[in-house]
Amino acid sequence: MLVGPDGGYAAELRDKLVELATIKTVAAFLNSRDGGTLLIGVADDSSIHGLEPDYESLRSEEKKDRDDRDLFQLHLGNLLANACGPAAAANVTAQIQTINGQDIWRVHVQPSGHPIAVTDVEVDDNGQHIKKKDSFFVRVINGTRRLTDDDRDKYIAGRW
């Protein structure tokens, strides 16, 4: 789910962490003045990894006749709607691009008209949830940052 080629528990944990990182990045773009674009299936070094492992993780017996791309887009939409709310998720569009035979997703995020907080889950090395809390994320240059309560209030006052 948003990456996981080697299967098993470690891959499942990594998949959840990648999903959470995707949610945080999209929330940060929603909270920004300009929105932003996230490429899924592309590594930080710009190499193309594609989404075949993600497609495979979403396939099931009852969904075997569904298109991989459709399943992925539905999964991404559900993740964002559950984490950020349907109104905020409506500000997100996704387009498929195929590069060298590999699918990647270009996720474009329009800025939200209201602050977006997401449930942030911390996990320990064994994959156990440590705590859940609502967190507020913003983009700072090319990174996603969680703001503390005081900084969040200052940011919201200046942004909205």
**Mean per-residue pLDDT over the chain, rounded:** 86
pTM: 0.83
Could you tell me which residues come within 8 angstroms of residue 96 by beta carbon, excluding any fewer than 6 positions away?
69, 103, 104, 105, 106
* Residue 63, helix vs strand vs coil: helix
Domain borders along the chain are 8-159
pLDDT digit string, tens, across residues 36-49: 999 999 988 999 99
Query: What's the pLDDT score for residue 65?
Result: 77
Segments of the chain scoring below 50 in pLDDT: 1-7
pLDDT digit string, tens, across residues 88-113: 999 999 999 999 999 999 999 999 99
Token pair belonging to 50 = 């594609």
CB 102 within 8 A of CB 42: no
CATH code of the domain occupying 8-159? 3.30.950
- Residue 76's CB: how many other CB atoms inside 10 A? 23
